[in-house]
């Protein structure tokens, strides 16, 4: 079975984290989009994504009834990077709730989660199954992690190295019928720039976007 190359998955019994880069990477952001379907409403960290259309730090997935605690752990991770909580150092933790019962958590579960994120070491699986798939265009890779809980596709996370703007990622995220679909492009990493400097942002053409969408719709 193939493994993701654009992100790493850290599994714990009560949480799963998709890491796009190491927990203490230099300040930087990636463009992101999401689409929620049906009555999905368990999401934290939404405001910054809606306003700035970027993400930094892991994408957290947890049983819906425990996303507050997982978000708090994500805040602690961000605090360890910069207590000012800038949006390019892991704040706010983008935390997605999965409709399933939360397993019992040990007293030190947050510490275990933080250790796992810092060392990138998984423990037991969370109470859902994750299906990884990968597809290629002539130029780019599209990888996805699909979370199935109680027979329902609860979340679909797409990560691509195609350099895509948020409006293009909106179209990618809109493909999935999962309760929530997230699309991230690691094709542009926006570092924090000194005053006056500008980001040089690569953008795929419409034809390339069509290819990415076809690939995402028909993974290997």
Partner 1 sequence: MQLGAASLVAAEARAGSTTIQGRHRARDLGIRIGRMPTGPKNGITDVTGVEVGHATIIRGEGALEIGKGPIRTGVTAIWPHRGIVDEFLPCGIDAPNGNGELSGMLQAKRMGVLNSPICLTNTSSVGMVYDALQTLQPKDLRPAGTPVVGETWDAELNDTVGRHVTSEHVIEALKNANSGPVTEGAVGGGTGMICYEYKGGIGTASRLVESNTESYTVGALVQANHGARALLRIDGVAVGAELAARNKPEISPDLNSIIMIVATDAPLLSHQLDRLSRRATHGLAKTGSISGNGSGDFTMAFSTGNRVPRDAFYGSTAYQLQSIEQFQLGPYLEAVSESIEEAIVNALCMAEDMTGINGNFVPALPLVQTIDLMRKHGRIAGTGHE
Which tokens go with 100?
Answer: 């399933």
Under the binding rule (CB under 8 A), the answer on residue 78 touching partner 1 is: no
Q: How far is the CB of 188 from partner 1 (least distance, A)?
A: 9
> 3 or 198: whose CB is closer to partner 1?
198
Under the binding rule (CB under 8 A), the answer on residue 208 touching partner 1 is: yes
Residue from the set 39, 206, 218, 220 that interacts with partner 1 by CB under 8 A: 206
> 45 or 69: whose CB is closer to partner 1?
45
Q: How far is the CB of 204 from partner 1 (least distance, A)?
A: 5
Under the binding rule (CB under 8 A), the answer on residue 84 touching partner 1 is: no
Q: How far is the CB of 28 from partner 1 (least distance, A)?
A: 12
Residue from the set 99, 171, 189, 213 that interacts with partner 1 by CB under 8 A: 171
Under the binding rule (CB under 8 A), the answer on residue 203 touching partner 1 is: yes
Under the binding rule (CB under 8 A), the answer on residue 198 touching partner 1 is: yes
Q: Are 56 and 76 spatial neighbours (Cβ–Cβ below 8 Å)?
A: no
**In sequence order, what are the beta bridge partners of 146?**
131, 156
Q: Where do runs of H (alpha helix) occur along 39-101? A: 46-52, 67-81
Stretch that binds partner 1, among 74-82, 122-130, 147-155, 203-211 (CB under 8 A): 203-211
Structural element, H or E, at residue 36:
strand 28-36
Q: 37, 36, 35, 109: which is closest to 70 by C-alpha?
A: 109
Under the binding rule (CB under 8 A), the answer on residue 52 touching partner 1 is: yes
Q: For the chain, first and last CA: distance in Å? A: 11
Q: In whole angstroms, how far apart are CA 172 and each of 12, 188, 217?
A: 28, 16, 9
Q: Whole-angstrom Cα distance, residue 164 to residue 127?
A: 32
DSSP for residue 151: T
Under the binding rule (CB under 8 A), the answer on residue 26 touching partner 1 is: no
Per-position DSSP letters for 87-124, written without gaps between them: TTTT-S-EEEEESSPPPP--TTHHHHHHHHHHHT---S
> 1 or 207: whose CB is closer to partner 1?
207
Q: Whole-angstrom Cα distance, residue 17 to residue 75?
A: 14
Under the binding rule (CB under 8 A), the answer on residue 207 touching partner 1 is: yes
Residue from the set 184, 204, 212, 215 that interacts with partner 1 by CB under 8 A: 204
> 99 or 170: whose CB is closer to partner 1?
170
Which residues sit at the interface with partner 1, rule CB under 8 A?
Answer: 51-54, 87, 139, 163, 165-168, 170-171, 190, 192-193, 195-208
């Amino acid at each position: 079975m193939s493994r993701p190359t654009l992100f790493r998955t850290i599994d714990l019994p009560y949480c799963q984290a998709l890491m796009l880069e190491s927990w203490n990477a230099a300040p930087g952001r990636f463009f992101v989009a999401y689409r929620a379907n049906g009555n999905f409403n368990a999401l934290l960290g939404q405001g910054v994504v809606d306003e700035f259309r970027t993400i930094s730090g892991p994408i957290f997935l947890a049983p819906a009834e425990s996303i507050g605690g997982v978000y708090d752990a994500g805040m602690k991770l961000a605090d360890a990077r910069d207590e000012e909580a800038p949006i390019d150092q892991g704040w706010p933790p983008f935390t997605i709730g999965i409709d399933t019962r939360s397993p019992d958590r040990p007293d030190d579960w947050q510490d275990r989660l933080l250790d796992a994120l810092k060392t990138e070491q998984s423990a037991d699986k969370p109470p859902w199954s994750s299906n990884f798939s990968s597809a290629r265009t002539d130029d780019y890779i599209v990888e996805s992690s699909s979370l199935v809980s109680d027979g329902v596709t609860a979340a679909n996370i797409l990560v691509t190295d195609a350099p895509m703007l948020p409006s293009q990622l909106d179209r990618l995220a809109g493909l999935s019928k999962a309760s929530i679909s997230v699309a991230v492009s690691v094709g542009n990493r926006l570092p924090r720039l000194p005053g006056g400097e500008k980001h040089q942002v690569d953008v795929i053409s419409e034809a390339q976007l069509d290819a990415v969408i076809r690939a995402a719709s028909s993974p290997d």
